[in-house]
Structure 1
Amino acid sequence: MSVKHAISRGLEMGRSVFQLGVLKPVARLAAKFRGERLRVGPPARSVQPQTFLPYRYRYYRMSLSGLAAQLQSLGFRRFPGTGSPRNRAVFLAFGLGLGLIEQQLEDDRRSAATCQEIQAVFRKRKFQNPLKPFTLGYRLEDYMMGKQIGMGCDAAVYEAAAHLPAPGERRECSLVELVSGGKDGQGEHEALRSGSIASYPLAVKMMWNLGAGSSREAILNSMSQELVPASPLALKEETPAPVLDGRFGGTPRRVSAHPNVVRVYRAFTAEVPLLPGALEEYPDVLPPRLNPAGLGSNSTLFLVMKNYPFNLRQYLQAAVPSHREGTLMLLQLLEGVDHLCKQGVAHRDLKSDNVLVEFDSGGCPRIVIADFGCCLAERDRALRMPFNNRCVNRGGNASLMAPEVATAVPGPGMVIDYSKADAWAVGAVSYEIFGRPNPFYRPEGLDSRQYQEKQLPPLPARVPTDTRLVVELLLRRAPAKRPSARVAANILHLSLWGGSALANQDTASMKSIADWLLCQSAVVLLRGRGPVTSSVEVELQRCFLANLDLEDLNTAMGFLLFGREQQRRGVLAN
């Protein structure tokens, strides 16, 4: 039982006790004196009951420990003639119970203060992206275009590099220095790394314009969702600045930098060029000046990002991550989704094709969430979208649509809550991470509208027990029973690094967790000063410590300990 529930139950019990032990005797006493006033004879001095209830009520509201002390005292001081043994036992037991609750509250207050202090320290250390100050890159002519490296339903992606300025012309660095130094993808992943990334460190995404018009304002308004992960300098400052409207009429949000969310460094409009493979791959979306049968407009939106070796689907086809790497990849997805949710953004099209992969200095896969064309990012929506009719777009991939979204029925006042929809999609994608087919891909897969949780296929035995627990929790049908991305991420953090604090689940408490958090904070801070074995793990630990919340942590610990207890009972039963 949580502390909030215990307090509410205790206050309800206390109210009943007061009514039985205090208010009713007072009422009988007052009735007795009122009867004496009606008697014929010389006036007698009437003794009014003491007005101690309001004073004590204020005292109890101010101090829970004071209430416990008063009840314990009443339980000891009530004489046989003034109260039944049952009432005395109730007063004593309730007083002792409140004393225990007060001790637990004191421990929780200290733990909450510890979490807030740690959170304040790590929130000041914001994610440092490798982008350096520069003023170039607002024109298509600023880039050397390479080969096509990807194509979706609304865009084509090409590798690119920025032209170097003439010597002595500008002091600002070029976009070619955007990628941080050092080799990526050492060890077993070296063969997977694209050899052209060193020559083309950037990727240019050319959107397909099929009706937005050719004016800059119309293009930016039509494709404003793509600018959600854009940096503050992505759009060139102009006077007057363009006013962007989202799909529902509100200005779309912008998310801050995060290690597991893609960053758009430049966004500009330009005429559609005839790039390699255009006439063969996407002739219908070209403008008539390039293809007489084309339906596209002359200008469109271009987005400049970092060039990643491959997406998650391509990586999993070429490599099998270890169980620890798979757990870290799942944790990175949850951290990215939590960052988006905290800033009021629902991706709504989370799948392996929209997740990009690179490697840190130790060869550990680092993943980022990309492609925000289907996202819900209106400033006044708060992850909730009105669903008045069937013409409202519910998201991208129908196979990976959360049950509460897929089963929504349009009608007056109907609203779809996306707060846990992306977390559900992460649970489905995790099957691919651990070497299993996605259970919701059709035609053989399950239907998210009507599947039962017992129909979900098991993950491989090599997957850690705590990781399997997280996947099972994420794929629960009912959103109320499904943990948020933050809670699910906390479960994996506790599983990966909280071994000493959770070694004995019978004695694990928030105090032991708080002590472990202080040690973990010191370790992460010291790691940042010296050589780092795995920057992915350090980034994850920083994200965890920067988002500490006592209630979420307590919920995660409850899930984790319950899962381990169920596992222990299952092993003993077998």
Structure 2
Amino acid sequence: MSVRQAIHRGLELGRSVFQLGLLKSGGRVAAKLRADRFRVGPSVRTVQPQAFLPSRYRYYRTSLRGLAAQLQAAGVRRWYGGGSPRNRAVLLAFGLGIGLIEQQLEDDRKSAATCQEIQDVFRKKKFTTPLKPFTSGYNLDDYLIGNQIGKGSNAAVYEAAARFAPPKQNNTNCSIVQLEEDTEEGNSTRSLTCCSLRNFPLAIKMMWNFGAGSSNEDILKSMSHELVPAGPLALKQENEQITLDGHFGVLPKRVSAHPNVIRVYRAFTADVPLLPGAQEEYPDVLPARLNPDGLGNNRTLFLVMKNYPCTLRQYLEVSTPTRRHASLMMLQLLEGVDHLCRQGIAHRDLKSDNVLVEFDSDGCPRLVITDFGCCLAQRDSSLELPFNSIWVNRGGNASLMAPEVATAIPGCGMVIDYCKADAWAVGTISFEIFGQNNPFYRPVGLESRNYQEKQLPPLPSSVPADVQLVIRFLLRRNPNKRPSARVAANMLHLSLWGRRALANQDSAGMKKLADWLLCQSAVVLLKGCSGPKGNTVEAELQRSFLSNLDLEDLRTAVGFLLYGRAHHQACILSA
């Protein structure tokens, strides 16, 4: 073996032995020798372990540099003191290899510190709603109610305006968003203009009350999960003091404001009114005073929110987003789901009907997750639901129920983990966003409980390769092999804005990526100070990405991307 080969072998040996954790005892001896040799008094300073390394490596955080120095010194001494050239070269290279590992760890420490600093800067910039804060509006009489704009299985939604804050009239021209709706009687066209939204900037959701009683306390207890996206002033002060014993906790969990999650501005109870279309659309849920055959109670819960032009399903029926807009739409859903998961909330009914759409100044669709009637929001922020009986509610929309939820079997001590269930649903909705039928709806009609990943239909060739990778990863049956919403979002962020940073990148080296993050942070901060461009969907997404930076999440996202690209390239070569 030549000296060059020996050095190369020593370098590889140093790395592999360290990674296998076999140097622990040797490291302890070396550290003890070093301490005994250089100790001249009581230690004044103790090096603290770094939090970014797993606990099994905590010893190397303090002793690795010294161990590398010991081995290199021993190699030099043997080089001049005798011994075979091969052994001397291997020992010296072994020490050099460990030194290189220490350098890599130092780069990781710097990258982790960079991520933390960027995160701190952007987390200080809280998202604020574009609507002015309400000063009143806790009664139904405070609102002018217009036409019905939506109806689901447990509520009807109407356009509305606040009487205490009449909208300003503006004679400027407005762009038109047309939504074609097929009815049983024939085709009808409903046009929502920005003028219409200005006249009715709010939406009121009237819940259907069958068995909650008619008292404030009973209604709020029964429907507390609807208050998850409620703002801090949504309820009257006296109602905030009511112990709200909802389905999943003593107090209703509240999610903080986010650009991709609906915000409830007011929540109050009132007598059920006879609104337009009530007798035709939902006669059975009306109280007996409005319909003798009705089964509903006299009072119910009303939620006041912002009025949006359409749902995602309605938008996709009449529009085809560009490739970039479609990628940004998918990314917004992942950001919204990640925001919910971080606060211990699982939506459990994610579908295109429960996503609202508006448009930014550049015409890009802004997506907002709504309808939290089936959500899981437990007190302990856990996304695990005890599943000891078939009567436990798994959530809504069985067609888009993640495999681990659909195949769960009730039993003593069994739980359903929802931490990646909504991310799986985003993968299915992505087919709709990119112009395909949802594979879990007819005509394809796959079932989440027994589908095979190879049965998923191919995406159009126009869909970017990295986006296709993310969708395929999200639809993996095994949640342990599926990325979280945060990691999947990071993959799309890196694909959209960090391609150069990913060039020649491996899953271990993050220094180049950290440099790119610093440049990206400066660009986003400058955009935020430059006027309207700082309020676009892309700017919001970039701020969200930077406010949630985590070194391990980034490394995992890079690993998924590199693995997916390598696997795709291998498939092409084999074909």
Q: Give the TM-score, by structure 1 length.
A: 0.85
- In structure 2, the CA distance between the partners of 1:56 and 1:537, relative to structure 1 (3 Å rule), is farther
Distance 2:172 2:511 in 1: 41
In the TM superposition, what is the alpha-carbon distance from 1:530 to its structure 2 partner?
A: 1.5
Query: In the alignment, what sits opposite 1:198?
Result: 198
What's the counterpart of residue 275 of structure 1?
A: 275
Match of 1:341 in 2: 341
Asked if 2 retains the 8 angstrom alpha-carbon contact of 1:185 and 1:361, the reply is no
Greater CA drift, 415-424 or 61-70: 61-70
CA RMSD of aligned residues (A): 3.2
Contact 1:185–1:193 (Cα < 8 Å) also in 2: no
Which SS does the other structure have where 1:448 is aligned?
Answer: coil
| 2:519 pairs with 1:543 | no
Look up the match of 1:497.
Answer: 497
C-alpha contact (below 8 Å) 2:158/2:205 kept by paired residues: yes
Mapped contact 1:185–1:358 kept (Cα < 8 A): no
Q: Secondary structure at the match of 1:375?
A: coil
Match of 2:51 in 1: none
SS of the residue 1:198 aligns to: helix
Letter paired with 2:414: M
Answer yes or no: is 1:287 the counterpart of 2:287. Answer: yes
- Per-residue Cα deviation, 1:411-463 (whole angstroms, up to 9, x for no partner): 11111111100000000000000111110114741110111111100111111
Structure 2 equivalent of residue 148 of structure 1: 148
- Aligned partner of 1:558 in structure 2 is 559
Instruction: For residues 240-296 of structure 1, give each alpha carbon's deviation from its aligned partner in whole angstroms, at most 9, with x where no partner exists.
Output: 821212213432210100000000000000000011111111111111111111111
Q: In the TM superposition, what is the alpha-carbon distance from 1:72 to its structure 2 partner?
A: 2.6
Which letter does structure 2 place at the counterpart of 1:378?
Q
Shift of residue 69 of structure 1?
1.2
Q: Deviations over 1:509-536 (max 9, x none)?
A: 4111111111111111111121444700
Helix, strand or coil at the partner of 2:199? coil
Q: Report the residue type matching 1:112 in the other structure.
A: A
Counting matched residue pairs gives: 530
Q: Which amino acid aligns with 1:440?
A: F
Letter in 2 for 1:236: K
Per-residue deviation at 1:570? 4.6
Aligned to 1:422: 422
Judging changes above 3 Å, is the alpha-carbon distance between structure 1 residues 136 and 61 closer, same or farther for their aligned structure 2 residues? closer
Structure 1's unaligned 5+ residue stretches are: 1-5, 24-50, 165-173
Counterpart position of 2:397: 397
Distance (whole Å) between structure 1 residues aligned to residue 218 and residue 531 of structure 2: 49
Larger Rg: 1
1:128 positional shift: 1.7
Residues 572/223 of structure 1: CA separation in 2 closer, same or farther (3 Å cut)? same
Q: How does 1:167-566 map to 2 (within 5 A)?
A: 174=165, 176=167, 193-194=192-193, 196-238=196-238, 241-442=241-442, 444-505=444-505, 509-533=509-533, 535-566=536-567
Note the alpha carbon deviations across 1:61-110, whole angstroms, 9 max, x for none: 63311111112333444599999999767654542332111111111111
Distance 2:271 2:127 in 1: 34
Mapped partners of 2:176, 2:97: distance in 1: 58
Distance 1:395 1:240, change over 3 A: closer
Q: Equivalents in 2 of 1:183, 1:423: separation in Å?
A: 40
Measure the CA separation in 1 of the matches of 2:257 and 2:172.
Answer: 21
Q: How far apart, in 2, do the equivalents of 1:240 and 1:187 lie? A: 39
The 1:219–1:490 alpha-carbon spacing in structure 2 relative to 1, beyond 3 Å, is: same
Alpha-carbon distance in structure 1 between the residues aligned to 2:18 and 2:209:
60
2: CA distance between counterparts of 1:187 and 1:140? 29
**In 2, distance between residues paired with 1:283 and 1:56?**
88
Q: State the alpha-carbon separation in 2 of the partners of residues 512 and 180 from structure 1.
A: 50
TM-aligned CA deviation for residue 561 of structure 1: 2.4
Compared with structure 1, are the counterparts of its residues 99 and 153 closer, same or farther at alpha carbon in structure 2 (3 Å cutoff)? same
Residue identity (%): 68
Rounded Cα–Cα distance in structure 1 between residues aligned with 2:406 and 2:350: 15
